[in-house]
């Protein structure tokens, strides 16, 4: 006996990836529904070797369905997620709407799988921000060994994190640079993204941080440990898929780089690629379509008593979004719903 699963936002980048990963990981599905807005009604999406036609989210009745994976914006989630949850369907939400709600668990299964059981308060589980998810996967095993005091992270985030329109803008601007008369003015981003980097993701806050930088701080504390200090600079780069992060970590206890490398090699969800030679590291191109969070450039920080530098790369549409949501569903099934 398997699960009745709904994917909400099935025509978007993350929704399509959720369907792919459910099929790839052979999640025990008895019945599946792909939902989208009315303008996308009838659009065909793939689920393994099957083709599904999208149904109208506005008219859908969640009664009798077990799990709903939401991949729509916060405004729409605010309207539809409570309806699904009230009907008895457990919502796993990829938007930022519920991440900071104390009654909603924020879960990365490799880090805090036990938190899943908190779903009973609202019948909702939150998926973290893509840049947070890959970072905490790498930091948690190190934190367990040496206790992290402070994290300084600079992100290099791909345009797929913004959506299809951003991917198109990068593609069209790149072509326009080389073809006179086909130049493309920025619409999705405030500056040209082709051949450029933009130190601005999400809205600016009063203290000068962007919302993306604030998210990384608050979410790391909620998922891992409220005592960890986090400061971030989040940057959009002209890469289609795959987020990269340069992470400086200061520990309470000394942690040797060799021991850190060994810990990460054994850690769930992590894959170490770290040779001190040209090409002996991972870049975003190699991580596309992969499940793992890759760690390279592991080295001692000589400026503090107990510090390490790390380079962390992951497919943001997978571990940063769709894969993490499916992994949450797997843990939920094993520990609570117990079907399949």
Per residue in 67-100, pLDDT tens?
999 999 999 999 999 999 999 999 999 999 999 9
Binding residue positions for NADP(+): 11-14, 39-40, 160-161, 316
Q: For residue 283, tell me if it sits in a domain.
A: yes
Q: For residue 66, tell me if it sits in a domain.
A: yes
Which residue in 287, 337, 338 sits closest to 137, CA to CA? Answer: 287
- Tell me: do 62 and 138 sit in the same domain: no
* Residue 84, burial from CB neighbour count under 10 angstroms (0-12, 13-18, 19+): buried
The total number of structural domains that make up the chain: 2
Q: Which two tokens mark 19?
A: 């369907």
- Tell me: do 214 and 296 sit in the same domain: yes
Q: For residue 287, tell me if it sits in a domain.
A: yes
Task: Look at residue 3 and give its three-state secondary structure.
Answer: strand
Altogether, the residues listed in the chain come to a count of 340
- Tell me: do 210 and 247 sit in the same domain: yes
Q: Return the CATH number at 59.
A: 3.40.50.720
At residue 110, does pLDDT exceed 70?
Answer: yes
* Residue 68, burial from CB neighbour count under 10 angstroms (0-12, 13-18, 19+): buried
At residue 338, does pLDDT exceed 90?
Answer: no
Q: Give catalytic residues, as residue numbers.
A: 130, 243
| pLDDT-derived band at 340, boundaries 50, 70, 90 | low
Instruction: Assess contact for 187 and 209: CB atoms under 8 A.
Output: no
Q: For residue 177, tell me if it sits in a domain.
A: no
- Whether pTM > 0.85 for this model: the answer is yes
Task: Look at residue 142 and give its three-state secondary structure.
Answer: helix
- CA Rg value for the chain: 20
Q: pLDDT tens digits, residue range 195-241?
A: 999 999 999 999 999 999 999 999 999 999 999 999 999 999 999 99
| pLDDT-derived band at 339, boundaries 50, 70, 90 | confident
- Tell me: do 147 and 100 sit in the same domain: no
Binding residue positions for phosphate: 99
Q: What is the rounded CA–CA span in Å between residue 306 and residue 334? A: 38
- Tell me: do 87 and 231 sit in the same domain: no
Mean pLDDT throughout 22-28? 97
Q: For residue 233, tell me if it sits in a domain.
A: yes
Q: Return the CATH number at 274.
A: 3.30.360.10
Q: Which two tokens mark 122?
A: 């609202």
From residue 6, give the alpha-carbon distance in Å to each of 18, 56, 195: 10, 12, 39
- Residue 308's pLDDT is 98
Which residue in 207, 176, 170 sits closest to 188, CA to CA? Answer: 170
Q: Tokens 């006179």 map to which residue? A: 180
- Residue 258's pLDDT is 98
- Tell me: do 68 and 98 sit in the same domain: yes
DSSP3 helix / strand / coil % (the chain, rounded to 5): 35, 25, 40
Q: pLDDT tens digits, residue range 128-155?
A: 999 999 999 999 999 999 999 999 999 9
Q: What is the rounded CA–CA span in Å between residue 12 and residue 169? A: 16
β-strand partners of 68:
6, 91
- Tell me: do 247 and 136 sit in the same domain: yes
- Tell me: do 140 and 252 sit in the same domain: yes
Q: What is the rounded CA–CA span in Å between residue 202 and residue 206? A: 13
Q: For residue 97, tell me if it sits in a domain.
A: yes
Q: pLDDT tens digits, residue range 292-317?
A: 999 999 999 999 999 999 999 999 99
Instruction: Assess contact for 268 and 140: CB atoms under 8 A.
Output: no
- Tell me: do 203 and 299 sit in the same domain: yes
Query: What mean pLDDT, rounded, does the chain reach?
Result: 96
Q: For residue 142, tell me if it sits in a domain.
A: yes
* Residue 22, burial from CB neighbour count under 10 angstroms (0-12, 13-18, 19+): buried
Q: What is the rounded CA–CA span in Å between residue 249 and residue 146? A: 11
At residue 176, does pLDDT exceed 90?
Answer: yes
Q: What is the rounded CA–CA span in Å between residue 194 and residue 261? A: 35
Q: pLDDT tens digits, residue range 39-54?
A: 888 899 999 999 999 9
- Residue 1's pLDDT is 80
- Residue 147's pLDDT is 98
Q: Which domain holds residue 205?
A: 131-158+197-314
Binding residue positions for substrate: 157, 236
- Tell me: do 22 and 135 sit in the same domain: no
Q: Which two tokens mark 55?
A: 């149904």
Q: Tokens 């799988």 map to which residue? A: 113
β-strand partners of 265:
none
Q: What is the rounded CA–CA span in Å between residue 163 and residue 14? A: 9
Q: For residue 183, tell me if it sits in a domain.
A: no
120 contact partners, CB below 8 Å, separation of at least 6: none
- Tell me: do 332 and 297 sit in the same domain: no
- Tell me: do 59 and 136 sit in the same domain: no
DSSP string, 109-132: HHHHGGGGGGGGGTTEEEPPPHHH
Instruction: Assess contact for 249 and 148: CB atoms under 8 A.
Output: yes
At residue 331, does pLDDT exceed 80?
Answer: yes
Q: What is the rounded CA–CA span in Å between residue 6 and residue 56? A: 12
Binding residue positions: 11-14, 39-40, 99, 157, 160-161, 236, 316
């Amino acid at each position: 006996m398997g699960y009745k699963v709904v994917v909400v936002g099935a025509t978007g980048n993350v929704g399509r990836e959720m369907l792919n990963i459910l099929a790839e990981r052979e999640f025990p599905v008895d019945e599946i529904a792909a939902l989208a807005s009315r303008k996308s009604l009838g659009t065909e999406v793939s689920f393994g070797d099957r083709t599904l036609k999208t149904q109208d989210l506005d008219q859908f009745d969640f009664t009798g369905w077990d799990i709903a994976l939401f991949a729509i914006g916060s405004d729409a989630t605010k309207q539809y997620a409570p309806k699904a949850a009230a009907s008895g369907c457990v919502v796993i939400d990829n938007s930022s709407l519920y991440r900071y709600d104390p009654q909603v668990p924020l879960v990365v299964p490799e880090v805090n799988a036990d938190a899943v059981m908190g779903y009973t308060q609202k019948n909702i589980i939150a998926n973290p921000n893509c840049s947070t998810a890959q970072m905490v996967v790498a930091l948690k095993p190190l934190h367990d060994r040496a206790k992290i005091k402070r994290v300084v992270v600079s992100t290099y985030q791909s345009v797929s994190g913004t959506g299809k329109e951003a991917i198109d803008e990068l593609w069209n601007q790149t072509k326009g640079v080389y073809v006179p008369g086909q130049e493309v003015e920025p619409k999705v981003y405030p500056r040209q993204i082709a051949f450029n980097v933009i130190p601005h993701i999400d809205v600016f806050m009063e203290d000068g941080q962007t919302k993306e930088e604030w998210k990384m701080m608050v979410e790391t504390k909620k998922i891992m440990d409220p005592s960890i200090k986090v400061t971030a600079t989040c940057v959009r780069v002209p890469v289609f898929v795959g987020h990269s992060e340069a992470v400086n970590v200061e520990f309470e206890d000394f942690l040797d780089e060799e021991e850190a490398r060994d810990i990460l090699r054994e850690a769930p969800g992590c894959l170490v690629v770290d040779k001190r030679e040209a090409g002996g590291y991972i870049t975003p191109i190699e991580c596309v379509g992969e499940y793992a969070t890759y760690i390279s450039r592991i080295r001692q920080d000589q400026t503090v008593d107990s510090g390490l530098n790390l380079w962390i790369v992951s497919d943001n549409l997978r571990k940063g979004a769709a894969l993490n949501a499916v992994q949450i569903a797997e843990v939920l099934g094993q520990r609570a719903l117990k079907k399949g």
